[in-house]
Amino acid sequence: MKELSFKESLEVPNSVYIDVRSPVEYGIDHVCGSVNIPLFENEERKEVGTIYRMAGREDAIMRGTEIVGVKLKDLVRSFMEYQDKNIVLLCARGGMRSGSLASLLDAMGLSVYKLRQGYRGYRHYVIEQLTSLELPAPLFVLQGLTGSGKTEIIRKFPYAVDLEEMAGHRSSVFGGIDMLQKTQKRFESLLVDRIRALRGAPYLVIEGESRKIGNLHIPDSLYELMKRSPVLCLSTTLERRIDIIYREYHACCNDDNIPAIVKSLRSKLGSKNVELLIGLYREKKIRQFIHVMLETYYDPLYRHTLDRKEYAAIIQNLDTDDSVKQIRDGIEEQVRKSASLLSLL
């Protein structure tokens, strides 16, 4: 059994990360692509932690050993499913949970590596990557008014960094509907993993966002790079914007979530518009509802910011696939010109 830092573990061939923390720990954040085989379920972990605080380390170890002993046969069976892999094992801090299990699996003949400092070591790696963020290729930012189709287009690019998908939020006042927002740590892990996966890409495309997506913060290092990158503006007719928003939202809206959100905007919309919007929604006049929301809330909120920007190109989004082609061709031409210019220097 060999102990590795997370950076070193990335070079292990044919590997699988197995996280032995409890499901709740794993759910908060984990190594992307890892498998969760918990030694303790959530309540068991809580019980052992309470014993540690109240009675001390020795009693906690004894109780933990009892719990694991009962399920050891099933645990070993779960690990044997990965006997053809190089197993990289981690717990919270690289301590007893992963250490004792790694020794057992090693004795059984499995190829096992122990992650130094466990999840904590991995988290240090993520923070380090974000602190000194270097993108593997030129970055292009896609901007446009609400409903202009940015997300549809982003998801058709192989070299996209889809911040909203990673965040589990659509980045609007209605953006959390029918979505489970990730934790900040999970968002950052997904971001670092995506950037690493895009090594070798000719360029990256990202949707223009404010500093926050729902309750999550875009790391400062990435946000500063976004502000300095070329911006492409997506322009779309109002009717098409309404259609795009309707397609994305209508299936997950209901008589509780929409009126509640509208009422929360009373100070920005005014009582008259709030009552108008709630009335339209309850009358099932959804497209009119969207129209009023765009004209009274979203467009006044974002138009002045977008008008101040300088754009490398403005794309008329009349058809998603055609717009993807226009954007791709434009970016590739700009990348070629930049490469030619650099070769002359």
What is the sign, positive or negative, of the torsion defined by CA atoms of 208, 212, 217, 223?
A: positive
Query: What's the pLDDT at 345?
Result: 45
- The DSSP 8-state label assigned to residue 92 in this structure reads S
> Cβ distance 148 to 123 under 8 Å?
no
Same domain, 322 and 197: yes
Which of 129, 162, 184 is the last residue before a domain boundary?
129
DSSP string covering 265-319: THHHH-HHHHHHHHHHHHTT-HHHHHHHHIIIIIHHHHHHHHHTS--SEEEE-SS
Q: Are residues 143 and 50 in the same domain?
A: no
Q: What is the CATH number of the domain that holds 223?
A: 3.40.50
Q: Is residue 26 located within the same domain as residue 173? A: no
Considering 107, 129, 151, which residue would you say is the last residue of a domain?
A: 129
Task: Examine the domain organization and report whether 165 and 258 are in the same domain.
Answer: yes
The predicted pLDDT at position 68 comes to: 86
- 157 and 294 within one domain: yes
Number of folded domains that form the chain: 2
Domain assignment of residue 44, given as a range: 2-129
CA distance 88 to 8: 11
State whether 105 and 143 are in the same domain: no
Least confident of 18-32, 65-79, 315-329: 65-79
pTM of the model: 0.92
One domain, residues 154 and 274: yes
233 is annotated as an active-site residue? no
100 falls in which pLDDT band (50, 70, 90)? confident
- Same domain? 140 vs 289: yes
> What tens digit of pLDDT does each residue of 158-174 get?
999 999 999 999 988 99
Listing DSSP states for 168-189 in one string gives: TS-SSTTTTTT--PPPHHHHHH
Residue ending a domain, among 102, 129, 156, is 129
Among the listed residues 91, 233, 252, 253, the single catalytic one is: 91
